[in-house]
Every structure is written in C-alpha cells, then in structure tokens.
Amino acid sequence: MNMKNLKYILAIILALSIGAVAVTARVDDSTNAPVKPYPLNTCLVCGMELGSMGKPYVFVYKDQEIKVCDKSEQADFDKDPDKYMKKLADD
C-alpha cells in the first residue's frame, strides 16, 4: 500500500469517527432540547429487564428517552404517559 492510499484511508476513518461522535449527542427534534438518558435497566411499562426479550424499543417523550421491551408497549405508554412518567420520577 502506498502513502497516498494510506492517507486516503486515514481521512475516511477520521471522517467516520467525527460523524459517530456527532450522532451520540441526541436532541429531541420537537423541542431542540437535549434528551435526558433513560436511567433504568427495566422496561418502563412491564418492568422486565431490558434486553431480555431482544433489543429494547427507544423513543423520546418530552425530552426524556424512554425504553420499553418492544414497539407495542409504546401504545400502552401513550394511553397514560403521566402514569409512566411518574413511575420514572419515583425510581
């Protein structure tokens, strides 16, 4: 591999690294406010350990990241979000 190719590869790696860092700073698109990370290791709706049934479903509600076992549980959350937000505040 010559020096020109090596510089090109390093430039691509650097660009991808910068892009990865930019993605980690999450913002709620509806308010442009920083998203508070989800503090629990359990599903907010059913209480099961997150990841025990596969990858958790993640969404944002009022600048708060919410994690549930799967997308169907977001519908339960949406029926009474205050109930679940209180549960989050109590923990």
In angstroms, the CA 33 to CA 62 distance is: 9
**Chain centre distance of CA 62:** 14
Q: What does the pLDDT profile of the chain (91 residues) look like in tens digits? A: 677 777 777 778 877 766 544 444 566 566 677 999 999 999 999 999 999 889 999 999 999 999 999 999 999 999 999 999 998 888 7
Residue 60 pairs in a beta bridge with 65
Give the per-residue pLDDT at 26.
Answer: 60
Give the per-residue pLDDT at 91.
Answer: 72
Q: Decide if 68 contacts 88 (C-beta within 8 A).
A: no
Give the per-residue pLDDT at 77.
Answer: 97
Q: Where are the domains of the chain?
A: 26-90
In angstroms, the CA 63 to CA 52 distance is: 26
Q: Decide if 30 contacts 11 (C-beta within 8 A).
A: no
